[in-house]
Structures are given as C-alpha cells and as structure tokens.
Amino acid sequence: MKPIFITGTDTGAGKTLVTGLLAKYLFEAGKSVITQKWVQTGSRKPDDVLQHTRISGMKYDSLNEKYISSYIFKLPSSPHLAAKNERRIIDTKNLLLSTVQLSKKYEYIIIEGSGGILVPLTEKVLTVDLIKKSKASVILVVLNRLGAINHALLTLEALKKRRIEISGIVFNNISEASEKILEDNASIVRKITGIKNCFMLRNMKEPYVLDAGINSFFKETLKKRI
C-alpha cells in the first residue's frame, strides 16, 4: 500500500489536524494505520505524532519511535536549518527506509510533512523530491484565507509537474475572511485544476467527531491507495 502524504500551503494550515482525522477515520474503520513525521522541528519530542494519537484515539507505538519520528530538532525552522543548528545531517535515504519499515507492520502510512512541499530537508533535497521517491499520494491542506488561491495553485502546479498523485484538497476555514471569499477560493481552485475531491473544514475542535462530509472526502481519497 502506497503512503499518503499530508502537506500544506502555509505554516499553521492544519496538516496535523487533517493527519489525525484521517488516521481516526481509518482506525475507527478497523484498519491498521500509523502516522509518521519525517522531521519534527521546534521540540525535543515527537509533538505532532503525539497530537495525531490524541485526535485519532490510537495508541502511540513507542516500539517504532525511531521510524515514526526519525529526526527531532529543537529549532522551530525548516528541517535543513534545524539540523545545521545542531551540527547534524538528515539522511533522506533513512527517511524512506523508515517508511518502508513501518509498512511491514501497518497497512496505511500517513506522513505529515514539515511545512510545504518545497521546504528543503537538506541543502540538496526538497520535501517534494522525497514525496516522489516514496510514491506517496498527496492531500493538500489549504489555509483558507485571502491569498489562498495563489498558494494552492502554486503547490498543485509543482505536484503536477512532478507527476505526483493528488488525492484531495482540504480547505481549512480558520481565518476571519468573509464566507464569500472562502467559498470562492475552493470553487475557483476546483474549476482551474479539475480536482473534484475537495472538502471545506470549518473550525473543527475537540472532541473530534467525523461527520458524513469528511467521511465521504476520506473515502474518495482512499480509492486509489492500492
């Protein structure tokens, strides 16, 4: 089973939330699922993966921690700089091998990216390069606000240029922009790209309950995961 990669248009777009919700959907359906964060920055713990478990209700697999969060850095920056700050080097081959190791135990691997797809993991390797090598499909989380159209289309264009499968788009409505703008952002991106599997996420907070709309989005997202 090919992995699913969750990326975003901006910092704070909602990648962690969407990763946790997708894991929850699969977990509640009785599927074998694990989340992964190739590089965690801004902490000394695998904060994002721990948040995935809180959202999904899954237990944290401490036995596979070295694969789940292969690199953890304190500096809240892009991976290449966070690693450089600690005089460490990110081995991107190791990241791919970690995903392979998890796939031996779990049917579904959901990878949350660090920032957007063009964020550098090293001075020579971008996140999108590793997405391509992992053969993952992508869910794009769009921070839905004024300016989101440009951010979304640039990301989608970069993915299409590299022939990376796009499974769906989540428009995360957490800004104070008018409803007219938020609705049009999603509508025009769908029309321009032809991507029909889109979902509007509206200020979801704890306790996290999956409604019919997001269940339908995830069901469509997973259709091509074989």
* C-beta of residue 18 within 8 angstroms of C-beta of residue 201: yes
The mean pLDDT of the chain is 96
Per-residue pLDDT tens for 6-46? Answer: 999 988 999 999 999 999 999 999 999 999 999 999 999 99
- 133 counts as catalytic: no
Domains of the chain listed by start with CATH number: 4-224 (3.40.50.300)
Six-digit token string for 10: 């901006």
Quote the pLDDT of residue 225. 55
Euclidean distance between CA atoms 141 and 150, whole angstroms: 14
Identify the band that residue 56 occupies on the pLDDT scale cut at 50, 70 and 90: very high
Best CA proximity match to 92, nearest among 121, 49, 132: 121
CA distance 25 to 10: 24
Given this model, what pLDDT does residue 1 score?
80
Residue 76 in tokens: 């809240």
pLDDT digits (tens, 9 = 90+) for 117-163: 999 999 999 999 999 999 999 999 999 999 999 999 999 999 999 99
Selected catalytic residue, list 2, 15, 31, 37:
37
Distance, in Å, from the CA atom of 4 to the CA atom of 22, rounded to the nearest integer, reads 10
pLDDT exceeds 90 at position 175: no
Residue 226: is its pLDDT beyond 80?
Answer: no
Closest to 111 in 3D by CA, of 124, 102, 123: 102
Entry field: residues in the chain: 226
Q: Please give the single-letter amino acid code of residue 59.
A: K
Residue 210 has pLDDT above 60, yes or no: yes
* Backbone angle region of 174, left / alpha / beta, with phi > 0 → left and psi within -120 to 50 → alpha: alpha
* Span 71-83, pLDDT tens digits: 999 999 999 999 9
Task: Identify the bridge partners of residue 112 per DSSP, sorted by sequence position.
Answer: 6
